[in-house]
A and B are shown apart, each in its own frame.
Chain A
């Protein structure tokens, strides 16, 4: 169903704890779940809610994101009017690093574009999380309450620094809290907001200088201090932000469980879309032995896998034995290699008979394109 929302996805400078995973890419384009990039979750959420125009504010390392998103056709966003708009950080001064310190800085870099958006409301979110949130329902709440701002929040907490909104009896939040990580009062902000365009422009005007870069600390706090209130849409199904390699690994290892698969990929709607590739189905050889594993199309599996994720086009040769591993697209695992708690990035070759091991807390990461 069509609606009057314009989506904005922003990418911030990547968390250093993501290490090798963000060496060649922004966190938005980290491969996840066998065939996705992180941005697919934010983008699909918008498309599934009927958002027809989505802009992506890109950071400096955007080559892999450009390659992934292309013209947006795989998300149904290649259109004559509207559709996907990729916004490089064109509005920044020459001296700027090209990395954003906060959402307000990212928005400021494309201020002139935002002013021209014809929609009355804007959905704003980051691209470093995994989940499948029914944004249509949040938009319905936003319309029904007539709120200036609606926030998607969850019970529980994140292990990383985050913001919390405390709803009052009428369902509106008037209090914003900062948590260093761990439990606290109120609800955990998923950093997904629906906001009236006029209100966003006012907040951007307030945050016009380089010391007001942060959405919560600067814009939301200012809005609430001025007597504003925020409608809260609760999403308590599976969703998580990925800010470190160990988060990434843990989230990947959860994937094979039926409840996680059902929450992320419900059988009856809200599909997560991604870039299509022409691939055959996956072939299992005579010697394959595979349990607790997710495998995308185009793989050839002749070895043993337990508790792994294989992206598209991976080859696992006979006699190779992998446990607790994530193997990204087109990587080749040669005969007899043994791996435990390893994340092998794209286009790697793990040669014959190698033994590689990390631990559950500190998985070993093989960077993109390496031959081990």
Chain B
């Protein structure tokens, strides 16, 4: 059962900055880009890179995510000697058991799972990034550079660098310093939260870190600085291409809008398919009054209204006379006749009734933002949802 490299995918985060959208589901399970869930991107990257064993670490509201992953068959990850393994926190004999206290602790608690597969290398992934990456190429570089850890980095502007974990690189090209959200960044190489570790080194570091009562048991804050301090070789793997973290309403909306521009990320490239588990639905229907431009529409949708610059997941209904612009409609969202949805995100099965208005165009003020309706929320006939609003419950017109 020896594997050269296995992946551990951190999918336990709550995604608290997505508010109503993640009140009942884990962030990696959020619908994205029409056909997908966020976790489809790292899972498909694994399958396309030839990594056949993926441990998915779950913690927050995992039921729907577990059902979505199933045996891993949609991502071609259901081989006899590999597959997708859901790894929730668990108890051992005589212990009370513990929640995962940090990203590093989540891996620490699953050392046994990794040891059984006896890998040379372990790839650590996040479940909330949108990108296409060949991990095999990253692994090749990791081996070539004889690193204990290789960190995928992406070039950002110096201004943006203040929001990221920044890697400072020495003359030999290796990382010599890590700074979390520096006020005065010295480099523009931002960590993407994707790591390849030589397992022996990581295993040792996790055990030592666990013994340190002051540690937050986090990869960025604790493990990376610890390896640097120990004089280990850390190599930056420079990634070029599209990569987005979708942790906030604005970034989730932005990244969905990016899917409308083929130059940002090509989802139609058959050589690197992004795979997903799809509900069994017929093709979508554009009705007699449909007017759809610069948009993504998925199977099971029925559109007889106007849809511009928007992303429609499966089974979305846009009735005749309804108008949807610059919006993201998750599975089963329904916009009734005469309703208007602008610059908004509609959660799964949200219903916008006749004559209701959700969101408006940007007006240049600081108060403006993308309007969000949570899953299963009904916006009553004629009701208004203000720009930037976050709707958790049904709304009736006043």
Contacts and interface: CB of A to CB of B under 8 A. Distances in A.
A34 B287 CA distance: 15
Interface in A260-276: 261, 264-265, 271-273, 276
Interface string A278-300: 11111111111111111111101
Contact of A290 (B274, B292, B298): B292
Nearest to A312: B283
Interface string A158-186: 00000000000000000000000000000
Contacts of A293: 285-286
B64 to A, nearest CB: 20
Contacts of B293: 284-289
Nearest to A257: B285
A73 B78 CA distance: 12
B389 interface: no
Interface residues of B, number: 40
Given A285-B293, A297-B298, A280 B267 contact: yes
B387 interface: no
Contacts of A73: 73
Given A290-B290, A291-B288, A291-B289, A282 B297 contact: yes
Q: Is the interface of B mostly helix, strand, loop or mixed?
A: loop
A285 B282 contact: no
A74 B123 CA distance: 31
Contacts of A279: 35, 273
Contacts of A284: 292-297, 307
Contacts of B181: none
B298 to A, nearest CB: 4
Given A73-B73, A292-B287, A296-B299, A278 B273 contact: yes
Given A34-B283, A279-B35, A295-B286, A288 B292 contact: yes
Interface in B291-343: 291-299, 302, 307, 311-313
A256 interface: yes
B278 interface: yes
A142 interface: no
A35 interface: yes
A297 B302 CA distance: 13
Contacts of A303: none
Contacts of A297: 35, 278, 283, 298-299
Nearest to B314: A281
Contacts of B284: 282, 294-296
Given A33-B283, A35-B283, A261-B282, A295 B274 contact: no
Contact of B260 (A256, A271, A272, A283): A283
Interface residues of A, number: 38
Contacts of B262: 283
A309 interface: yes
Interface in B174-231: none
Contacts of B278: 276, 297
A256 B298 CA distance: 16
B283 A295 contact: yes
Contacts of A286: 293-294
Contacts of B285: 256, 261, 293-294
B370 interface: no
B195 to A, nearest CB: 27
B281 interface: yes
Best-surrounded residue of B260, B283, B302 (most CB of chain A within 10 A): B283
Interface of A: 33-35, 73, 256, 258, 261, 264-265, 271-273, 276, 278-298, 300, 305, 309-310
30 contacts: A33-B282, A34-B282, A261-B285, A261-B302, A265-B282, A271-B280, A271-B281, A278-B275, A279-B273, A280-B267, A280-B296, A281-B35, A281-B296, A281-B311, A281-B312, A282-B284, A282-B297, A283-B295, A284-B293, A288-B293, A290-B286, A291-B287, A291-B288, A291-B289, A294-B282, A294-B283, A295-B284, A296-B299, A297-B278, A305-B286
**The 8 nearest A-B residue pairs measured at CB:** A281-B34, A34-B283, A280-B267, A278-B273, A271-B280, A281-B298, A296-B283, A265-B282
